[in-house]
Amino acid sequence: MLPGRRKLYSTADVARLLRVDASTVKRWADSGKLVCFRTIGGHRRFNLNQIREFIANYHLEGIASSDPLMGIEDRFY
């Protein structure tokens, strides 16, 4: 990864992290609950800060592991 660039996560990555189906993550994103942006090809991408904010705002700590984002950069790639 280039310096200064943030890692982005796919819908499937976020679904695995939060232990939900990808369609649930898509619904959350489409409703504005989970902030994402779309690639040129139309795929949703999420950054780590957005995922953390969503977990905190919706009290989803119980869905994810006790510290779901610890080592996340190593988990997917």
Determine the pLDDT at residue 70.
55
Residue 76 has pLDDT above 80, yes or no: no
Q: Copy the structure tokens of residue 51.
A: 């995922």
Asked whether the predicted pLDDT for residue 72 surpasses 60, the reply is no
pLDDT over 70 for what percent of the chain?
A: 70
Q: Report the topology of domain 8-65.
A: Multidrug-efflux Transporter Regulator; Chain: A; Domain 2 (1.10.1660)
Identify the pLDDT of residue 2: 46
The token duo for 26 is 């898509």
For 34-73, b/e burial (b = at least 16 CB within 10 A) is: bebeeeeeeebbbeeebbeebbeeeeeeeebeeebeeebe
Rounded to an integer, the average pLDDT of 22-27 is 97
Residue with tokens 């997917």: 76
Sketch the domain layout of the chain as residue ranges.
Answer: 8-65
pLDDT score recorded for residue 1: 45
